[in-house]
Amino acid sequence: MASFYVSLRAVRFAFLFMLCAASAAWADSVVVTGSGSVATKPFGRTPQGQLVTLHTLTNKNGMNVSIMDYGATIVKILAPDRHGKFDDVVLGFDKFSPYLRSTTYFGATIGRYGNRIAKGQFPIGKELYQLPCNNGPNSLHGGIRGFDKRMWKVEPVESDVPAVRFSRLSPDGEEGYPGNLFVSVTFSLNDDNELRISYEATTDKVTIINLTNHSYFNLAGSGTILNHVLTLHADAFTPVDDTLIPTGEIKKVADTPWDFLSPTPIGLHLKEVGGKPVGYDHNYVLNKGFFTDWSLAAEVVEPRSGRTLSVSTDQRGVQFYTGNFLDGTLTGAGGEVYRQYTGFCLETQHFPDSPNHDNFPSTVLTPGQTYKTSTVYAFGVK
């Protein structure tokens, strides 16, 4: 009889433990770090019933970055202007459900391969792999269900600054890519208002990889980005065909509408760039010192608010995109209607379609290697 009561108490304890754990999963929580905090709260559920959580990193200056575990996606970045007024400087949604319907990749972690692969095909050795074509004749941003449409596991991070890490196993054959790929991405925010995004991955089979973040920035917080002043530290870019696939040429930007070597309003030469729709959607070849991998890629100034953004990375390229396909059909955070040129992207990465161009840097990852890359988005005022 005594053992029966012991077992009954154990069952009751287990039930209460599970009930409390379930309640805790829905409760807001805050973890204080050395110079800030990480707050967690529920953000919604997937159609399969999985809980989606929002993790907000806040530094001592009050700047904060919110990232959800669906797509390891940046949902919001609150940054101050020259008068100390905070605005959301990335495009996104106030609720989770619009992310399920949107095809814009707002703030998402992109993989396995950011950008386009021609005809969805690439060779490794003598084997030709076929990916789903989800962008006209090409594969874009990892396929139909890339990393942006997957749930990521949240992992603890030992850090003196607010940080959160997401990880997932991309199984062999997912979206046509070979190899079991274990990948993680860590977001951290320091007191210099620098958001660092660090990626790491390993594989058990030769594969290709090109990870990036697809945040759309608007340093004014609303309106057009055409008056933002951009500097791109890139002497060359990779021209594209009518389907936005690189031709293989690496062309100098001098005396072209693609020249942002000195500070230039984004909209100044926009119409000369052409395209359908008109706008920038091009990979820039970053200037790299002979002995250094880390470099300043871009600087942006928004004259009215005084907000600035500088982008530093160890990557070889950056995709500059001016939100050409935004068409006014999406209403985002705060009721903002997202029209063409409402946001711009600076997606640090290797080159588009690299596996099909021998003259582009390799994106092959082999067993025993560790893929590591980082980018810092630093926010300031002037």
Our answer to whether residue 158 is catalytic in this structure is no
Our answer to whether residue 347 is catalytic in this structure is yes
Is residue 198 within 8 A of residue 157, CB to CB? The reply is: no
Q: Report the distance separating Cα 2 and Cα 12, nearest Å.
A: 15
Q: What is the distance, to the nearest Å, from the Cα of residue 134 to the centroid of all Cα atoms in its chain?
A: 19
Q: Report the distance separating Cα 94 and Cα 86, nearest Å.
A: 16
Beta bridge partners of 51: 45
Residue 131 CA: distances (Å) to CA of 174, 182, 205, 352: 9, 19, 17, 15
Query: Could you tell me where the DSSP H helices lie in the chain?
Result: 2-26, 97-101, 270-273
The DSSP-derived string for 235-270 is SEEE-B-TTS-B-S--EE-TTSTT--SS-EETTTTH
Q: Identify the active-site residue in 141, 214, 228, 282.
A: 214
User: Phi and psi dihedrals of 21, rounded to 5?
Assistant: -65, -40
CA geometry: angle 85, 86, 91, nearest 5 deg = 140
- Map residue 19 onto helix, strand or coil: helix
Q: Report the distance separating Cα 313 and Cα 182, nearest Å.
A: 22
Query: What DSSP state is assigned to residue 143?
Result: S
Provide the token pair at 311. 């982008």
Q: Is 267 exposed, middle or buried (0-12, 13-18, 19+ CB in 10 A)?
A: middle
Q: Identify the active-site residue in 299, 336, 347, 357.
A: 347
Residues involved in catalysis:
214, 347
